Structure 1
Amino acid sequence: MPRIEEAAKAADWAAVRELLEARPESEDRVGLLWAVAETAGVEKWIGRAVEAEPHSALPLLVAGARHVCWGWEARTGARAQHVSREQFATFHDRLRTAEKWLYEVAEREPGWTSPWYALQATGRGLQVGRTTARRRFEAAVRRDPHHLGVHQQRLQQICRKWGGSHEEMHAFARQAALGAPAGSLLGQLVAIAHLEHWLDLDSGEDAAYLRRPEVLKSLREAADRSVLHPEFVRRPGWVQVLNTFAMAFSLTGDKALARACFEATEGKASEFPWYYLDGGDPIAAYRKHRTAAGR
């Protein structure tokens, strides 16, 4: 990932393109794409690449993805009541621009999953409605039925904080996890759903929730089907998936399974979901809970 970030920071489109083309859609290009999209300043030069390659979908995809991230940067992660009217205006303007380009990419490259992944993020910000949001998810999974990022986006869409419900979120996570092949990364959805539920509760209720027997059973079932299954393969995203289970088991008090997940990470910490703990310092949180688990 650092190579493509360095290329993006240097406005080196040739290098960015080469690295993206080396990771085809069939091998999940979203991770690399988002590394570029989250790089500040890409919006200043990607337009030149679009103009230089008018018949290529790839620079347009990068431009659209960057505008998604750029839009969310304008909104910030604050709750809606703390976001100004000007911020919302900028947010929506950038997302609408992203949608225009992403739909054009989807038309040019009907087999690509990436534009539909990004259109789920724009749809959430623009509040396109439940039917449109569901159709965008369905369009993505028709192209890649077990795509982790696509399912993560859908899970966010149906969270309570975005107008869904805990019940809908948990049902979707479990169905996706158990419906995926053994060893799939999609088991992470169950852990994310429980962490989202935990985050939505008041202090005291949150800890009690994660120690409920049915929550522990659900997490163990998902881990056995996913990261702890003999057929688990370290595909793109595996570090974050293992870290998510490590944090979830740490918070439930299941030290044995937390330790197993920490061991499998090989010392690699992911930003998500650890930034929810220890003042937003993922490395500090990872190390603290790894030590508590006996690693």
Structure 2
Amino acid sequence: MALLRDVGTTLGRWTGRPVARVDEDGDDPDVPRVRAAAEAADWAGVRDILDARPESEDRTGLLWTVGEVAGVERWIAGVMAAEPDAALPRLVAAVRHISWGWEARTAARAAHVSREQFQVFHERLATAETWLYEVAEREPGWTSPWYGLQVTGRGLQVGQDVARRRFEATVRRDPHHLGAHRQQLQQVCEKWSGSHEEMHAFARASAFGAPGGTLLGQLVAVAHLEHWLALDSGPDARYIGQPQVIASLHEAADHSVRHRDFVRGRGWLQAHNAFAMAFALAGDLTAARAFFRATEGRVTEFPWCYLDGSDPARAYKEHRSRAGR
């Protein structure tokens, strides 16, 4: 598996460059607000922020912010009991159980996860699925429960056919839902019993099947990063440095974040980080420099965690330095 080489190399001073830092809020002022409300067990505050968002990609991101807050599983149970007919408390509880389940499993390879950890992981995901189906039945127009079922489905290994149906249910409600497409891209990766061919085909069909200026073009970059990650040292660099790979990265960037209709909104920073990493690894330093410049030193955990899971900003800085930015 390809990993960052010489990650401990001492870096020079970054005179004239923005200080690299991991960005957790993505230019959305409601992210820190909803996180603070969740940490304070302030259901009214959480509910008001979520209710103010349309049931789409925008609300999905905020839901996952709440779901990542430790302790939500305790106080949301009381809210569900007090509001037995309400869908939103069940949705929040389900999303928290998804994050809580992955916390139990950890990010370790399956061989290093104990039977007990897997049992807790599966139990929490199964509980989440029950609530997600209840929410989907009560609110058939909502996107988030189907997106949540994409995530639980991968963890519970429901199979490609079921996973595809859950993806299709999400995008029927929100055709350009980036999170849904990213989940399905992972589903068809070789490491999740798909294949490189299926992954690249899905990425291109999604990117170029969408209007110019959407964020879906980054799927092409992520697919190349996944392919690179699956290879050993040596073949990985030869793969991603191929002229046809670099050409496909430019084509995807031109159709998405470099398109005249592109407008910065939620998710733009991650797209720029993905293209910066892909172009840097591919050796197109001119293109990489432009994307590093656009990020202004703001690092998204994904995809830089593929290079350094403990310090994504360090991986970003090293490759920014190599690109001459």
TM-score when normalising by structure 1:
0.97
Whether 1:21 aligns to 2:59 is no
Aligned position for 1:36: 66
In structure 2, distance between residues paired with 1:186 and 1:243? 14
Cα RMSD (Å) of the superposition? Answer: 1.3
Shift of 1:254: 1.0
Percent identity between matched residues is 70
Equivalent in 185, 188, 192 of residue 158 of structure 1? 188
Shift of 1:279: 5.7
Query: Residue 142 of structure 2 aligns to a residue in which SS?
Result: coil
User: Which amino acid in structure 2 is aligned with residue 122 of structure 1?
Assistant: T
Shift of 1:289: 2.1
Equivalent in 148, 154, 157 of residue 178 of structure 2? 148
In structure 1, distance between residues paired with 2:308 and 2:121? 29
In structure 2, distance between residues paired with 1:127 and 1:169? 17
In structure 2, distance between residues paired with 1:152 and 1:48? 33
Are the aligned partners of 1:5 and 1:39 in contact in 2 as well (CA < 8 Å)?
yes
Aligned position for 2:297: 267
Are the aligned partners of 2:206 and 2:216 in contact in 1 as well (CA < 8 Å)?
yes
Q: Where do residues 15-164 of structure 1 align in structure 2 (5 Å cutoff)?
A: 15-26=45-56, 28-164=58-194
User: Which amino acid in structure 2 is aligned with residue 226 of structure 1?
Assistant: S
User: Which amino acid in structure 2 is aligned with residue 23 of structure 1?
Assistant: R
In structure 1, distance between residues paired with 2:57 and 2:121? 31
Aligned position for 2:18: none
Whether 1:237 aligns to 2:267 is yes
Cα 1:98–1:27, aligned 2, differ >3 Å: closer, same or farther?
Answer: closer
Aligned position for 2:19: none
Structure 2, unaligned runs of 5 or more: 1-30
Q: Where do residues 198-277 of structure 1 align in structure 2 (5 Å cutoff)?
A: 198-277=228-307
Cα 1:12–1:270, aligned 2, differ >3 Å: closer, same or farther?
Answer: same
1:133-155 CA distance string (max 9 Å, x none): 11101101110111100000000
Are the aligned partners of 2:56 and 2:177 in contact in 1 as well (CA < 8 Å)?
no
Whose helix fraction is larger, Structure 1's or Structure 2's?
A: 1
1:122-169 CA distance string (max 9 Å, x none): 111111122111110110111011110000000011111111001000
TM-score when normalising by structure 2:
0.88
- How many residues of Structure 1 are paired with residues of Structure 2 in the alignment? 295
Are the aligned partners of 1:274 and 1:280 in contact in 2 as well (CA < 8 Å)?
no
1:235-272 CA distance string (max 9 Å, x none): 21111111111111111111111122122223321111
Structure 1, unaligned runs of 5 or more: none
